[in-house]
Amino acid sequence: MMKDTLFATTLAAMLRERGEDAIYPCIQDLLDNGLTLARFSPGEVKPQRQDITQYMAAWSKHVGLGDEECRSWMIEYCVVMLSPISRTSPSGIRHSTKSNIKYIYRYDIPFVCEHENNPFRAKCSKECPAYAAIIPKACDARNEKARGSTLERPADVVETQVLPVKAIYRDQFETALRLVHDETKKGTKKKRIVQLLNEQGLKTKTGRRWTYSNLYAELRKVKGNQVAGTPNLSLDTDL
């Protein structure tokens, strides 16, 4: 993919107005190149567009940009630079990006640096301001062995508070269930509901993409029960 420095230039100008002059190396890499597929082995699971969107939105919030400022550059960035890894239309990408930004800012989702092990294979540098200040998260299969361990850091380093995975996705999961309820009520087919959930970057309660099978499983769980203050969901919608 050819580099597109327009987004990096625009973002750098916005940051200078706030007294910031550094774009983290991983963010710079993603701005210039999008997801570099050549860095992944054949058959390896690759990050999806929504993963990059939420990562960069969390970074924008982390460096002090407001949600409107984030939308001002990021929506078109996602359309131009991330469409090659997405089957969603440009209008769908714009809608999904707005939803992801809204989610990150509304629920105060923290920016999490994973150093050289970031899932995007994006460039990293120990000179980055976040390298010493943010301890990589220890979650998911990649870091299963690190779960529960204590990472030492200098006393003067302030660590960004990272919520447990289930806590991060709890509110988003309830938002997803409300969407499911609304669409089910309208008679939307379940396969289309799955598509809408993934287009908007909403995850399951364990942070995974929605599939027909896990949607149906959740519908069965909540049948006859009240979830997140919404009426009961129905299993009667046509497939």
Alpha carbon distances (Å) from 114 to 43, 124, 131, 226? 22, 9, 9, 37
Question: Looking at the structure, do residues 215 and 146 belong to the same domain, yes or no?
Answer: no
Question: Looking at the structure, do residues 1 and 102 belong to the same domain, yes or no?
Answer: yes
Query: Would 21 be classed as within a structural domain?
Result: yes
Query: Would 127 be classed as within a structural domain?
Result: yes
Residue 176: the pLDDT is 83
Question: Looking at the structure, do residues 60 and 175 belong to the same domain, yes or no?
Answer: no
**Phi, psi values for residue 227, rounded to 5°:** -120, 125
Dist. CA 45–CA 206, nearest whole Å: 17
Query: Would 229 be classed as within a structural domain?
Result: no
B/e letters for 110-148, b = 16+ CB within 10 Å, e = fewer, are: bbbbbeeebebbbbbeeebebbeebbbbbbeeeeeeeee
Question: Looking at the structure, do residues 48 and 158 belong to the same domain, yes or no?
Answer: yes
Dist. CA 3–CA 135, nearest whole Å: 30
Residue 169: the pLDDT is 64
Residue 1: the pLDDT is 43
Question: Looking at the structure, do residues 81 and 172 belong to the same domain, yes or no?
Answer: no
Question: Looking at the structure, do residues 4 and 63 belong to the same domain, yes or no?
Answer: yes
Query: Would 10 be classed as within a structural domain?
Result: yes
Residue 78: the pLDDT is 94
62 alpha carbon, distance to own chain's centre: 14
Question: Looking at the structure, do residues 97 and 187 belong to the same domain, yes or no?
Answer: no
Amino acid at 104: I
Residue 67: the pLDDT is 93
Domain count, the chain: 2
Question: Looking at the structure, do residues 136 and 29 belong to the same domain, yes or no?
Answer: yes
Question: Looking at the structure, do residues 125 and 173 belong to the same domain, yes or no?
Answer: no
- Six-digit token string for 193: 């509901």
Question: Looking at the structure, do residues 174 and 149 belong to the same domain, yes or no?
Answer: no
First vs last Cα of the chain: how many Å apart? 39
Regions of the chain where pLDDT drops below 50: 1-2, 138-165, 226-231, 236-239
pLDDT, one tens digit per residue, over 47-85 is 999 999 999 999 999 988 999 999 999 999 999 999 999
Among 215, 199, 208, smallest CA distance to 100 is for 199
Query: Would 233 be classed as within a structural domain?
Result: no
Query: Which residue segment(s) compose the domain that 110 sits in?
Result: 1-162
Q: pTM of the prediction?
A: 0.59
Residue 136: the pLDDT is 66
Query: Would 235 be classed as within a structural domain?
Result: no
Question: Looking at the structure, do residues 41 and 61 belong to the same domain, yes or no?
Answer: yes
Query: Would 238 be classed as within a structural domain?
Result: no
pLDDT, one tens digit per residue, over 107-138 is 888 898 889 989 999 999 999 988 888 766 54
Query: Would 6 be classed as within a structural domain?
Result: yes
Dist. CA 42–CA 182, nearest whole Å: 39
Q: Note the residue count of the chain.
A: 239
Question: Looking at the structure, do residues 115 and 28 belong to the same domain, yes or no?
Answer: yes
Residue 168: the pLDDT is 55
